[in-house]
Amino acid sequence: MPGDMLIDGSEIVFSRSLTEKRSTPTYNLKLDRLSEREKRKLIVELVRIQNDGTVEVDIDRSNPVSELFELQPVTGRSTITYDKSFAESIKSIPRLKIAILVVGTRGDVQPFLAMAKRLQEFGHRVRLATHVNFSSFVRSAGVEFYPLGGDPRVLAGYMARNKGLIPSGPGEISKQRKQLKAIIESLLPACTEPDMETGAAFRAQAIIANPPAYGHVHVAEALGIPIHMFFTMPWTPTQEFSHPLARVPQRAGNWLSYIVVDLLIWWSIRAYINDFRKRKLDLAPIAYFSTYHGSIAHLPTGYMWSSHIVPKPSDWGPLVDVLGYCFLNLGSKYQPQEDFVRWIKRGSPPIYIGFGSMPLDDPKKTMDIILETLRDTGQRGIVDRGWGGLGNLSEVPENVFLLEDCPHDWLFPQCSAAVHHGGAGTTATGLRAGCPTTIVPFFGDQFFWGDRIHQKGLGPSPIPISQLNVENLSNAITFMLQPEVKSRVMELAKLLENEDGVAAAVDAFHRHLPPELPIRHSSSPEEEEEDDHPNPIQWFFIQIGKRCCLPCGGV
């Protein structure tokens, strides 16, 4: 959270980072001046929910309603800025207790785990809070784990079935509510409860989160601590491309698509958030039609992708960073089974085919398509069984190897090309390994990455899972095996090899920390004992000669 947290009525306004010289006006929407009934009517006129669950935002610049979504400066407010010389005078980064809150599949968790390990090297105590499914994965990396509510298999299934934000039926609504409530209820304990294995006291002094960990900003508000958002897909409004969960027929609607998605999400979680604020956080409720608390646009945000794939949009300000891919690099310690190594060496480099955490409606049909395509194209294939249940075969052909749980950064360099669902992490690892890529998207940002891969000539047009057949997959493999495609991917691989997204993410977190942080107040004998030693936070304030003015909320 850059700078001081200022309370202005019911809205929280955050100042700029201490490393920024120039201030930027805070913005409001003309939309906010409408009554609640007018706002609802307006959204109904602009938004169409598609049969596949995605949101279409149709805006015509000749229509006067489009003016309601233009940003307007808010007068009477100012931001706090600091000279560069002041920032440079701080010679040490204070050690913090950091809670990382991540909701999603393993592909969502993995880049945050890489970041957690690097933060620990700076002396921070880092707790990664995510679904219990990933407890051993996190702990095996030497990072403290705390369970968040929600089941990633259920969440992935929901998104795959509904293709977006809108539940397709009453049963889906019930599942969505149960998952949301479980996630939200677990956030405060993840930031304040002792370690579940050692009993060591913990109270977060900063939060790192991805947007689907709904409730993150409210916990940060209650504790009076900074929060920094990181994500693998675009979530900050821009005119350059639409929100990955929305369809926009006209470029003029790109920016608006983010506002609409924010609002739709906010409407779906508002009841749980306000109940959470009242019962657990002792905070006032938030208005139904709030364009601020459904958005992360006012928070420092880091995007975990390479600017060689998607450059930072020109209308993203200094609060937003495009960092590069954040690799965990598990392959260096991986010991493959001997029969797998023998199979790889037996013939030409194989094609990887796998859909990770994505559920499949008909795994047998999908596997039949894969086997027939490999046979028709004369290729060998490594099929990752994943969560979709691929590979339940009575007899496995010689040109196919069925695989489970192998680090992609070890596997992909063995492959000639890759076919997968288009998760950000899988996409990044394949490109760094020099693999031409075919993306078979199921939902959300997978379509976004599929389009980017195709636009850059690194793979064919994406094949939505509903359109996967032998003809489309055969054409995709033929495209990927062209020498010029391989050459383009190898050029990109060299660029990615020189990036360090994890270092950039940690640097961004440190750079956007406010100059004044909440000083920990001891709340347990364990913390009293810890306070007998020099407190780096207190040392930090002595160095800059200031006192904390943030509401510390008992931290």
3-state secondary structure string, 454-508?
HHCCCCCCCCCHHHCCHHHHHHHHHHHCCHHHHHHHHHHHHHHHCCCHHHHHHHH
Euclidean distance between the first and the last CA atom of the chain, given in angstroms as a whole number: 16
Query: Lowest-pLDDT range, 15-19, 118-122, 139-143, 204-208?
Result: 15-19
Same domain, 489 and 448: yes
134 and 80 in a common domain = yes
How distant is the alpha carbon of residue 217 from its chain centre?
Answer: 15
Residue 388 lies in a domain: yes
Which pLDDT score is estimated for 294? 58
Query: Cα(32)–Cα(377) distance, rounded to whole angstroms?
Result: 57
Range of the domain at 515: 5-26+74-236+296-325+502-544
- Comparing 89-103, 194-208, 309-323, which segment has the lowest mean pLDDT? 89-103
Give the helix ranges, DSSP H, for 277-378. 338-345, 363-377
Domain end call among 479, 497, 515: 497
Does one domain contain both 163 and 197? yes
3-class secondary-structure state, position 529: helix
β-bridge pairing 27-29 and 71-73 = antiparallel
Structure tokens at 128: 């990664």
Asked, for residue 337, whether it belongs to a domain, the answer is yes
pLDDT for the residue numbered 400: 94
What's the rounded Cα separation, in Å, for the pair 74 and 178?
38
Residue 240 has pLDDT above 90, yes or no: yes
* Residue 331 CB neighbours (<10 A): 18
DSSP E strands in 312-389: the ranges are: 320-322, 351-354, 381-384
Name which of 6, 127, 144, 22 is nearest 76 in CA terms: 6
| Residues 488, 341 share a domain | yes
Query: So what's the pLDDT on residue 551?
Result: 31
Return the half-sphere exposure (C-beta side, CA atoms, 13 A cut-off) of residue 343: 20
User: Based on the domain organization, do 313 and 456 belong to the same domain?
Assistant: no
Residue 380 has pLDDT above 60, yes or no: yes
Tokens standing for residue 530? 């810890």
- Cβ-proximal residues to 116 (8 Å cutoff; 6+ apart), any chain: 100, 126, 128, 138, 141, 143
pLDDT band at 161 (very low <50, low <70, confident <90, very high): low
pLDDT band, very low/low/confident/very high, at 555 (cuts 50, 70, 90)? very low
Per the CB < 8 A criterion, the answer to whether 459 and 453 are in contact is: yes
Co-location of 397 and 507 in the same domain? no
In tens, the pLDDT along 218-227 reads 999 999 999 9
Rg, C-alpha atoms of the chain = 24
Helices 152-162, 170-192: axis angle to 10 degrees equals 140
Residue 218, token pair as written in the block: 């409210």
Q: Which residue has the tokens 């999603």?
A: 104
CB neighbour class for 439 (10 Å; exposed up to 12, middle 13-18, buried from 19): buried
The answer to whether residue 230 is domain-embedded is yes
Q: What is the CATH number of the domain that holds 373?
A: 3.40.50.2000
Rounded distance between C-alpha atoms, residue 295 and residue 475, angstroms: 41
Mean pLDDT computed over 258-262 = 84
Together in a domain, 14 and 98 = yes
pLDDT digits (tens, 9 = 90+) for 280-331: 999 998 876 554 455 788 899 999 999 999 999 999 999 999 999 999 988 8
Nearest CA among 401, 362, 357 for reference residue 381: 401
Average pLDDT over residues 149-166: 70
Same domain, 188 and 123: yes
**Does 311 fall in a domain?**
yes
Task: Please answer whether residues 230 and 321 qualify as being in contact, where contact means their C-beta atoms are separated by less than 8 angstroms.
Answer: no
pLDDT (tens digit, 9 = 90+) per residue, 403-421?
988 999 999 999 999 999 9
Q: Quick one: 204 and 231 in the same domain?
A: yes
In degrees and rounded to multiples of 5, residue 236 shows phi and psi of -105, 130
Q: Given its phi and psi angles, is residue 73 left (phi above 0), alpha (psi -120 to 50 degrees) or beta?
A: beta
φ, ψ of residue 228 in degrees (nearest 5): -130, 125
Rounded distance, CA 297 to CA 291, Å? 10
Contact 229, 299 (CB under 8 A): yes
The tokens of 475 are what?
């054409």
Mean pLDDT to the nearest integer, 241-246: 89
Length of the chain: 555
- Residue 350 above 80 pLDDT? yes
CA 497, distance to chain mean position in Å, is 22
* More confidently predicted of 376 and 332: 376
Question: What is the distance between the alpha carbons of residues 191 and 226, in angstroms, rounded to a whole number?
Answer: 12
The helix-helix angle for 170-192 and 216-223 (nearest 10°) equals 30
Q: Count up the domains in the chain and report the number.
A: 2
Residues 433 and 527 in one domain: no
Most confident of 78-92, 262-276, 388-402, 491-505: 491-505
Residue 345 covered by a domain: yes
Whether residues 163 and 230 share a domain: the answer is yes
Assigned domain for 392 exists: yes
In a domain, 33, yes or no: no
Element (DSSP H or E) covering residue 112: helix 106-121
104: alpha, beta or left? (left if phi > 0; alpha if psi -120 to 50)? left
For residue 142, CA distances in Å to 120, 127, 135, 205, 453 come to: 10, 10, 11, 20, 34
Q: Assess whether pLDDT exceeds 60 at residue 10.
A: no
CA 483/CA 421 separation, integer angstroms: 23
261 lies in a domain? no
Per-residue pLDDT tens digits for 25-41: 344 455 555 565 666 66
Give the mean pLDDT of 8-15. Answer: 30
Q: Same structural domain for residues 145 and 94?
A: yes
Q: What predicted TM-score, i.e. pTM, was given to this entire model?
A: 0.80
pLDDT at 143: 97
Nearest CA-CA partner of 143 in 156, 130, 159: 130
**How many angstroms separate the CA atoms of 121 and 143, rounded?**
11
Residue 541: its H or E element: helix 536-544
Angle at 310 between CA 306 and CA 311, to 5 degrees: 90
Average pLDDT over residues 101-117: 94
